Amino acid sequence: MTQNEKFQIKRRAVCRNLWQQLGGGPDAPVKLLFVALYLAGAVWVWSKQEAVSAYAQSVELLSPIMLTAMTHAVAAYLLLGGVALAVLLVYPFGRKATQDQLQSIGLANHAGMAPDLLRKKRDRDNPRVTVWEFRNQSIPLTVWEDKQAAIEAALDVTIIKIIFGKSKSRVLVYAVPTQTSLPEVLRWSDAYLSPDNFVLVLGESLTGPVAVNLANIPHILLGGSTGSGKSVLLKLLLMQALRKGAEVYIADFKGGVDFPKVWRQKCHMCFREDTLLYVLGQLVAVLEARKGWLEEAGCKDLDAFNEATGEGLPRLVFGCDEVAEVLDRTGRSKGDKELLAQIESRLATIARLGRAFGIHLILATQRPDATIIPGQIKNNLDFRVCGRADNILSQIILDNTSAAEQIPKDARGRFILGDGTVFQGYLFDEGQL
């Protein structure tokens, strides 16, 4: 493409963009309000023209410029007000500087045109977040994502997410100032407990609390390297499940040291594989029984059944800390492998069918690869959380390397979700159980 062709494309694009900014877009009603106020002001100034002109003539020592403006108030208003109106309708503050910054990092189309900043506004759901709306200039969203770090440096922000707007010609960048950061420690308070039915909160991100609704996303996988805070996060979720009236079952094959006496008083604990097989068998039996009850009542899930019948059946939550200690078959005898196969089968049944019948899995492990958690189980653990990890571990848990890239190596209690949301988990004191 020649320089002249690029110039012609840019010139036509500027004219087209100016027309679009003046006449349309999602804030067209606001633009119309500005125009209406401008016209109403012109009418008011016209009605007061004679009085203002007479007053100007009566005042001594008035500068010639002021005298001319007051004598011709309507013309002055139309000129100055028109300029101000054009700025309000077309140019957000910092528009040109932003475009230059994006141009300098190479975020531009083949014609050399950088994205055009249309507006900046506060996010309705979170006042700490600013939404930058750009005219995309036909740049693929993947290019924006690949250059996220460079965009953050150019605009001096921390980006939460980048998405398309109402159409693919618009890109929305959700960001907070770089001075905004997550705390290293975030202690749990009972005020954080969600009032919504079976919504469990995990911590706080830059955009607010992070939570999961087990009624919609029934199973959770917690991963991360040793010392990343998986066990603390697991106990935080189990504590909330207890507070919400669930029956909690816990398998701990690390000697039980992570779950002191207070847990054993309130939960069903198992420390041996034969006991675990029995517990899972009981959960599967409950699942089958509930399946029949829901079918007979014509209800689609546990909440609908409880509401229709008034039964009040509780949700059942099975948590396992370091599930690799249970499912790893390395060096096991033939009898042990057969036992583990039965355990896997029952876990797989709950993973596949548990949602509708209110039976949930929360599994924590350092390395949930296929040799530890079979695909028929892992594929049903839709809500995945990863703490500190290297590229390989992050890929295993989240199917991407974002944990290795976005969580500091010395961070404890810092996690990331599959959608890229980074959060600091609440630090739960077991004395609060």
**CA atoms of 91 and 97, how far apart (whole Å):** 12
118: nearest Cα among 7, 22, 15 = 22
- Mean pLDDT of the region 210-224: 94
Backbone φ and ψ for 166, nearest 5 degrees, come out as: -65, -20
For the stretch 87-124, pLDDT in tens is 666 556 678 888 889 999 999 998 889 998 988 888 88
- Mean pLDDT of the region 334-349: 91
For the stretch 298-325, pLDDT in tens is 999 999 999 999 999 999 999 998 888 8
- Is beta strand 157-164 parallel, antiparallel or unpaired with respect to 186-187? unpaired
SS3 content of the chain, % helix, strand, coil (to 5): 45, 20, 35
Distance set, CA 200 to CA 152, 235, 377 (Å): 31, 12, 22
The whole-model pTM stands at: 0.71
pLDDT at 22: 46
